Amino acid sequence: MVVVGCGPAGSTAAQEAASQGASVLVLEKAKTVGEPVRCGEFLPSLEEIRHICAETKGLEDLFDLPPRILGRFIERARAYAPSGRTFEVDFQGHSIWRGRLDRYLARKAVDEGAELWTETPFLGFDNGDLVTPRTRVHGTVVIGADGPRSLVAREMGFPDHELLFPALSVSLSGSFDPVFEAYFGGVAPGGYAWVIPRLHDANVGLAVRPDLKQDPLRAALDTFLQARGLRATSRPTGGFVPMSGPLPTTARGNVLLAGDAAGHVLSTSGGGIFTAMICGRLAGRAAARFAAGLAPLEEYESAWRRVLGGAFERGWALFQMLAPSFDDPETLEEIFRLLGPEGLTAALRCQDLPVAEAVSLENPPTR
Ligand SMILES: Cc1cc2nc3c(=O)[nH]c(=O)nc-3n(C[C@H](O)[C@H](O)[C@H](O)COP(=O)(O)OP(=O)(O)OC[C@H]3O[C@@H](n4cnc5c(N)ncnc54)[C@H](O)[C@@H]3O)c2cc1C
C-alpha cells in the first residue's frame, strides 16, 4: 500500500499497517520529515483527548511520547475577549517540538517495516499508478495523508474543504506563564491569535477566516506582536487549517483520506495533530485488513466516525453557531460572558454547551 504524506496522519497509518503485516511505502515531498514546522505546537493532554474522544482504547500507547518532544506542560487556557476581558478555561496539554514529533512518528513507521521515500512528491494518478519524479508506483490501497490541500483528494474528485483558514506562526524568546493564551476579535477576524509557551520561548501565531481577512496575515501578526511588545526570533511559517470538519466521505475506490486531507480537525480550536494520529491509525488498520482480505475498505469510515465523528460534528455546529458573532466584538464578548469558563471549556472540547439555548441564534444575547 502507498501512503502519501509523512505528517502525523501518514506516519501513524504507515506504522499501523506495517505492524499488521502490510507492505507499506510512504511518499513524502519534503527533504526532511517535519520541516518546515507549520504549527502552533500544542498537543492536548491525554486526559483532554479522553474528554473529546468517544473511545479510549489504545490512546495511552499512541500518545506515550518521549520528554524531548513534550516542551512544557500547559496548565490551562485563557481566552481574551475583544475588550481584553479574560476567561480562564480548563484545558491542559503540552507545547511540543513539532518537527521532532513528526520525525519520531516517521521513525516508528520505518522501524515497523514501512519504507519511506523523502523528496518524492506524489504528482498524480495515471491508470491507477501513483506518479512521482522517481518512478511510478502501485498501491492496492492508497492513503492520502498529504495535508489540507491534498492532491490525492483532488485527483480522486473529493470535494474541497468548505472553509480553509490561512494561519501563520513564529517563535519568540522570553518567559511566559504555562497558559495557552487565545485572543479573539479584530486581532484575528473569525479566528484567534495564540501565545503558546515552551520552556524558554513561545510559539505565537494566528489563524483567520479567509472572508473576514483584511490585512495580509504577516501584517496582522506583526501588529499583534507589536501591541504586546514581543519580538519574533524566527521567520514566520504558514499553512492552512481545514475548519469545516470532515469531508462527507473519506473513502473512494481504493483511496482513503486521513488527517487534514480528510478534514479531521476540531473546528472550535483548529487542533488537528491528535485527531490526525487517531484517524491515521484507523486508516492504516482498515487498509491492512482490506489488503489481507479481511474487511471492506469502507470499514474505515465508520471506524473514525465512531471515535471522533460526534466531536467533529459538534465542533462544526458550534463554529457555525458562533461564527456570525466573530465580526461583531460586542456580541462576541456577550457570548463569552454567557458561556463562561464552563461553556468555553465545553466548546474547546467539542462537547454540548451547558448554556446552548442561551446562545442559540434563535435567541441572540441581549445587551
Ligand atoms: C499555522 C498552523 C498552526 C497549527 N497549530 C496547531 C496546534 O497548535 N495544535 C494542533 O493540534 N494542530 C495545529 N494545526 C493543525 C495541524 O498542524 C494539522 O491538523 C496536522 O498537521 C495534520 O496532520 P496531517 O498528517 O494530516 O498533515 P500534515 O501535517 O500537513 O502532513 C502532510 C504531509 O504531506 C506532505 N505532502 C503534501 N503534499 C504531498 C505530495 N503531493 N506528495 C508527498 N507528500 C506530500 C507534506 O510535506 C507533509 O509532510 C496548525 C496548523 C497550522 C497551519
For the segment 138-189, what is each residue's pLDDT rounded down to a tens digit? Answer: 999 999 999 999 999 999 999 999 999 999 999 998 889 999 999 998 888 8
Cα–ligand 1 centroid distance for 333 (angstroms): 31
Strands of the sheet containing 136-137, edge to edge, are: 124-126, 129-131, 136-137
Q: Say what the pLDDT of residue 146 is.
A: 98
DSSP symbols for 37-51: --S--EEE-HHHHHH
Cell for 119?
523528496
Q: Can you give the three-state secondary structure of 138-156, one letter per residue?
A: CCCCEEECCCCCCHHHHHC
- The model's pLDDT over 103-142, given as tens digits with 9 standing for 90+, comes to 999 999 999 999 999 999 999 999 999 999 999 999 999 9
The CATH code of the domain at 2-315 is 3.50.50.60
Decide if pLDDT at 27 tops 90.
yes
Q: Which of 262, 271, 277 is nearest to 319 (CA)?
A: 271
Q: Give, to the nearest 10 degrees, the angle between helix 273-291 and helix 98-111.
A: 20
- Higher per-residue pLDDT: 251 or 83: 251
User: Alpha-carbon distance 75 to 359, whole Å?
Assistant: 28
How far lies 270's CA from each of 40, 229, 322, 323, in Å?
10, 26, 15, 14
Strands of the sheet containing 179-183, edge to edge, are: 86-89, 76-80, 179-183, 192-197, 201-207, 164-173, 237-242
User: Alpha-carbon distance 184 to 80, whole Å?
Assistant: 6
Tell how far CA 299 is from the center of its chain: 23
Tell how far CA 147 is from the center of its chain: 10
- Pick the atom of ligand 1 nearest to 120's CA: 43
SS3 label, residue 210: helix
**Contact residues for 199 (Cβ-Cβ < 8 A; gap 6+):** 71, 72
- Specify which residues 23 forms β-bridges with: none
Decide if pLDDT at 64 tops 90.
yes
Ligand 1, CB cutoff 6 Å, lining residues: 4-10, 27-30, 38-42, 121-122, 145-147, 151, 167, 169, 205, 238-241, 259-261, 265, 270-273, 276
Where does the chain show beta strands of DSSP type E? Answer: 2-4, 25-27, 42-44, 70-74, 76-80, 86-89, 93-96, 115-117, 124-126, 129-131, 136-137, 142-144, 164-173, 179-183, 192-197, 201-207, 237-242, 251-252, 255-257
Mean pLDDT, rounded, for 32-50: 96
Q: Say what the pLDDT of residue 34 is.
A: 97
Residue 31 CB-density burial (10 A; 0-12 exposed, 13-18 middle, 19+ buried) = exposed
Nearest CA to ligand 1 atom 35: 5
- The model's pLDDT over 75-92, given as tens digits with 9 standing for 90+, comes to 999 999 888 899 999 999
SS3 label, residue 231: coil
Cα–ligand 1 centroid distance for 108 (angstroms): 18
What's the pTM? 0.95
Q: Which of 173, 181, 180, 178 is nearest to 200 (CA)?
A: 173
User: Alpha-carbon distance 344 to 34, whole Å?
Assistant: 31
**Where are the domains positioned within the chain?**
2-315
Cα–ligand 1 centroid distance for 243 (angstroms): 13
Q: Which of 77, 78, 8, 60 is nearest to 39 (CA)?
A: 8
Decide if pLDDT at 365 tops 90.
no
User: Alpha-carbon distance 106 to 102, whole Å?
Assistant: 6
Q: Say what the pLDDT of residue 136 is.
A: 97
User: How far is it between the farthest Cα atoms of the chain?
Assistant: 64
SS3 label, residue 344: helix
Cβ-contact 145, 280 below 8 angstroms: yes
Which residue out of 257, 260, 349 has the highest number of ligand 1 atoms within 8 Å of its CB and is therefore the one to mutate? 260
User: Alpha-carbon distance 4 to 27, whole Å?
Assistant: 5
Which residue out of 3, 25, 39, 204 has the highest number of ligand 1 atoms within 8 Å of its CB and is therefore the one to mutate? 39
Cell for 346?
465545553
Cβ-contact 210, 166 below 8 angstroms: yes
